[in-house]
Structure 1
Amino acid sequence: MAIGLVLGVIGSLGLWVELWWGFRLTRQSGNLLVRRGLLTRRSLTLEERRLRGIEVVEPLGARLADGARLDAVASGFTVSIDEQRNDPRTLLPVVPKELAHRVAAEILREPMTPTEAAILTPHPPAARRRRLVWAVGAAVGVALVLAVLGLLLVEALLHLAWISAVVLIPAAVWMGLDAYRALGHGIAGEYLVARQGSVRRSTVALRRDGVIGWVVTSSPMQRRAGLVTLTATTAANHGGYKIPDAGEAQALTLADRAVPDLISPFLDVKQGVGAAPRQAARQPTP
Structure 2
Amino acid sequence: MPSTPMEVDAAVVLLGASVTAITHPLLYVKLLIQVGHEPLPPAVGTTMLGRPVLYLPGFFSYAQYILKVDGKLGLFRGLSPRIVSSTISTVVRGKIKRRELQSKEDEHQNSFGKVVQETSHEMIIQCLTKVATHPFHVMSVRCMAQFVGRETKYSGVFSCIMTIFKEEGLSGFYTGFVPHVLGEVLFLWCCNLLAYFINTSAVDDTFSQTSTIRSYTKFVMGISLSVLTYPFTVVADVMAVNNCGLAAGLPPRFPVFKSWLRCWNHLSTEGQLFRGSRIFFRRVPVTRPPSVSD
- TM-score tier after normalising by the smaller chain length: 0.3 to 0.5
Is the strand fraction higher in 1 or 2? 1
Q: Greater RCO between the two (CA within 8 Å, min separation 6)?
A: 2
Is the helix fraction higher in 1 or 2? 2
- TM-score, length basis structure 1: 0.34
